């Protein structure tokens, strides 16, 4: 940023989200202000774009195909780094704020998510699998975009609301906020949100990671025991 560029001061309603039994999701309020280096209101017309990303993780996507009249797994591709959650909110439609190149650089939308496919893959095939992955995540409410989701007051304060669904992945989420003027990003800032399991769910997760072999054996024994008990109960009816 140049010395005369404004300062973006972001904040989020909660920096820690606790996932307990019965968690149904939560709503994050991302807000802040755009000030000049002297701490005064910028006064110029600008737009705000907020990008919220969850922890990246590898993913394998399989494509269904018909074989002898039956749907089976056909082609597949692997992605090295896929955001577990991705949401974009902006004050106006993205194509009215920046050009396509700038939108791709800053990932201003689900069409511009920088996925990393593994190995050599045909460009058309890569585009098809990438679109399929985004569509799947969108239907799971893990990818979303709202191009009128940011409200700006007096060209100083802004706010946006993004909902985290119940099936979110735990980990560190990054909320990036961008101030855009005349098609150029004039300021950006980042804050973090920690999504973590608490209580019994966290103990089970830690146990499954630290003592994976014993955890697996106990899970198998529990499944066998429940199956045997269910069989005995049905036999008595």
pLDDT 10s digits, 143-169: 999 999 999 988 789 999 999 999 999
Per-residue pLDDT at 66: 65
Predicted pLDDT at 167: 92
Q: Is the pTM of this model over 0.85?
A: no
User: Which pLDDT score, from 0 to 100, does residue 61 have?
Assistant: 83
Residue of 143, 132, 138 lying closest to 79 (CA atoms):
132
Angle between helices 200-210 and 212-236 (to 10 degrees): 120
pLDDT at 70 (0 to 100): 64
Tell me, what's the pLDDT at 155?
Answer: 79
The confidence score (pLDDT) of residue 55 equals 95
Per-residue pLDDT, 204? 56
The pLDDT, as a whole number, for residue 1 is 43
pLDDT of amino acid 220: 76
Query: CA dihedral in degrees (33, 36, 38, 41; nearest 10)?
Result: -60
pLDDT at 65: 66
CA-CA distances (angstroms) from residue 229 to 20, 34, 134, 218?
29, 63, 43, 16
Q: How far apart are the first and last CA of the chain?
A: 75
pLDDT of residue 197: 82
pLDDT at 45: 79
Residues in contact with 205: Cβ distance below 8 Å, sequence separation at least 6, in sequence order: 170, 197
- The low-confidence residues of the chain, meaning pLDDT below 50, are 1-2
What phi and psi values does residue 85 have, to the nearest 5 degrees? -145, 140
pLDDT for res 2: 45
- Comparing C-alpha atoms, which of 42, 3, 15 is closest to residue 179? 42
């Amino acid at each position: 940023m140049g010395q005369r560029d404004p300062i973006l001061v972001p904040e989020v309603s909660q920096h820690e989200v606790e996932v307990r039994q019965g968690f149904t999701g939560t709503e994050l309020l991302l807000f802040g202000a755009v000030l000049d280096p002297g701490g005064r209101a910028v006064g110029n017309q600008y737009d705000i774009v907020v990008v919220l990303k969850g922890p990246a993780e590898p993913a394998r996507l399989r494509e269904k195909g018909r074989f002898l009249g039956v749907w089976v797994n056909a082609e597949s591709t692997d992605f090295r780094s896929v955001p577990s959650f991705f949401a974009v909110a902006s004050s106006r439609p993205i194509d009215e704020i920046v050009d396509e190149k700038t939108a791709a650089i800053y990932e201003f939308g689900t069409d511009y998510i920088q996925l990393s496919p593994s190995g050599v893959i045909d460009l058309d095939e890569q585009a098809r699998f990438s679109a399929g992955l985004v569509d799947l995540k969108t239907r799971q409410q893990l990818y979303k975009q709202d191009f009128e989701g940011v409200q700006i007051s007096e060209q100083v304060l802004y706010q946006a609301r993004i909902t985290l669904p119940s099936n979110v992945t735990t980990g560190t989420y990054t909320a990036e906020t961008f101030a855009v003027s005349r098609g150029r990003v004039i300021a950006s800032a980042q804050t973090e949100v920690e999504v973590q399991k608490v209580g019994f769910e966290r103990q089970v997760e830690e146990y499954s990671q630290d003592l994976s072999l014993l955890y697996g054996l106990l899970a198998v024994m529990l499944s066998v025991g429940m199956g045997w008990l269910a069989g005995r109960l049905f036999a008595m009816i």
